[in-house]
Amino acid sequence: MIREVQIHERLSLAQTIPLGLQHVFAMFGATVLVPFLTGLSPAIALLSSGIGTIVFLLLTKSMIPAYLGSSFAYIAALTYFVQDQNNLAAAMGGALVIGIIYIILFALMSVFGSAWIHKIVPSVVAGPVVAIIGLSLTPVASGMSANNWYIAIFTLGVTIFLSTYAKGFLKIIPILSGIIIGYIVAAFAGLVDFTGVTASVASLDKIFASPINADTWAMPSLNKAAILMFAPLAFVTIIEDLGHMIVLGNITHSDPIEKPGFNRVLLGNGLATGIASFLGGPPVTTYGENIGVLAVTRVYSTFNIWVAAIIAIILSFVSPLQALIMSIPTAVMGGVSLYLFGMIGVTGLRTLIEARVDFSKSKNLIIASVIFAVGIGVQSHGVAYATLAGIILNLILREEKED
C-alpha cells in the first residue's frame, strides 16, 4: 500500500524531481499538441504552462496540486484567427478576454461566496461528472495507442505491474518508469524517430534559445469578432475547472472549492491565461492528465507541481530536451494515458459509493443517467454540457415522497 503524501508535505529533492518530471510527461503531449494544431509555438505553450502553473499555485496558496496546460476548448477559435486570418494579435486578444472573464467572476464570487456550489453540485452530480471526465478522455488515449497497440499494451502492462508490485520509491513513479521502459522497447523495435533530437544537438548555437521570437510576437488586440468567438467558451472551461476541483477534492480528501475557494481557482486560471496571451501562448486550464497522476501515485504534494512547472519553463528554452520528449512514440503515451484516464473514471464511481447515493430514487437515477448519456454522447465539450444538465436536473427535480 502506497503511503499518501499530503498536499503540504515535501519529499526529498531526489524524490521530488522524478515526481515533477512525471507530471511533465503527463501534460507534455496535450500541451504541445494545441499549438501544433493551431499554428502557435510549442515552446511558448510550454513556457505559458509553466509560468501559469506557478501563478495558479501562488494565488491558491499552494493548496491545490493542479497543473495548468494548453486548453483544447479554444482550438477552433485559435486556428481561425492564427491560420485562416493570419491575425495572431486578435487571437491573443480573445485569450486575454477569457482571462478577464475569469477575473470578473472571481470578483463576483468573492462577494457572494462559493458555498452555493455544493448545493447545486451534490454527490449525485459530482460523481458521474468526475467519471465522465475520465471516460471522455479515453478515446484520446485509444487514438494515441492505435499507432501501435503492442507497444501501448506493453507500456500499460509495465505501468500497472510497477503500480502493484514495485517497492519503495519506484512504486510512486510508475508513470515515469512505464514511459521510460516503453520508450526503450520502442527504440529497439525501430519505432523512435531520433531525427529531431540529432538535429537539435547538431545545432549547438540553437540549444539554448528564447521561445519568444520578436519577429512573430504580437501584442493582444481587442477584436470584436475574436471576442464574440472566444468569450462564450470561457464558461465551458470554467465548468471543466469545477469538475476538476471536485475530482481533486475526492482524490486528496480536501475541499478546494471551499478552501482556498473556487474564486481563487478562477483568479489563478484567469491571470495565467492573461499572461499566456501576452506571451503568445494558448489559454491554459487545469489538466485531467495530472490529476490522474495524483490518483495513481497518491502523492498530492504541491511542491512536485512547482518542480514540474520549473522543468516546463526550462524545457521551453532547451530545444534538445523538447525534441527528446517529442520523440516519445504516441503509442507509449497512449498506454500510460489509458491508465490515467481510467483511474479518473473510477474515482467518480468511488464518489457515488462513498456518498451512498440511493439509486432507488428516481431523481438520482435520472440525474446520473443523463450525465453519463450526454457526457459520452456529445463529442465536443460533452463534460461541460453533462455538468450543466446534471445541475439543472438537480435543481428542478423534486425528491420523491415516501409511500
Three-state SS string over 198-233 comes to: HHHHHCHHHCECCCCCCCCCCCCCCCHHHHHHHCCH
Q: What is the pLDDT of residue 369?
A: 94
Longest Cα pair distance anywhere in the chain, in angstroms? 79
H helical segments located in 40-87: 42-59, 75-79
CA dihedral 131, 134, 136, 142 (to 10 degrees): -140
Q: What is the model's pTM?
A: 0.77
Q: How far is CA 238 from CA 117, 226, 234, 383, 403, in A?
A: 13, 19, 6, 11, 40
Given a contact cutoff of 8 angstroms between Cβ atoms, the answer to whether 282 and 85 are in contact is no
Distance (Å, rounded) from C-alpha 112 to C-alpha 120? 15
The domain limits of the chain are: 13-396
Given a contact cutoff of 8 angstroms between Cβ atoms, the answer to whether 308 and 297 are in contact is no
Given a contact cutoff of 8 angstroms between Cβ atoms, the answer to whether 35 and 47 are in contact is no
Radius of gyration of the chain (CA): 21
Q: What is the pLDDT of residue 270?
A: 95
- Say which DSSP state 39 is in: T
Q: How far is CA 101 from CA 34, 106, 269, in A?
A: 22, 9, 11
Q: What is the pLDDT of residue 247?
A: 84
Q: Mean pLDDT of successive 10-residue segments in the chain (403 residues)?
A: 81 90 85 80 92 96 94 83 90 95 92 76 83 81 89 94 84 84 93 84 71 84 89 79 86 89 94 95 90 88 95 89 82 87 82 86 93 84 80 86 60
Distance (Å, rounded) from C-alpha 93 to C-alpha 171? 45
Surface-to-core class of residue 379, CB atoms within 10 Å of its CB (0-12 exposed, 13-18 middle, 19+ buried):
exposed
Q: What is the pLDDT of residue 2?
A: 58
Of 221, 318, 236, 265, the closest CA to residue 72 belongs to 236
Q: Tell me, letter by letter, the H, E, C secondary structure of 102-160.
A: HHHHHHHHHHHCCCHHHHHCCHHHHHHHHHHHHHHHHHHHHHHHCCCHHHHHHHHHHHH
Count the Cβ atoms, other than its own, within 10 Å of residue 86.
9
Residue that the C-alpha cell 486528496 belongs to? 252
Residue that the C-alpha cell 478576454 belongs to? 97
Residue that the C-alpha cell 484567427 belongs to? 81
User: Which residues are CB-contacts of 171 (< 8 A; sequence separation ≥ 6)?
Assistant: 2, 162, 163
Q: What is the pLDDT of residue 401?
A: 67
Of 95, 71, 106, 101, the closest CA to residue 273 belongs to 95
Distance (Å, rounded) from C-alpha 219 to C-alpha 181? 43
Cell numbers of 198, please?
540529432
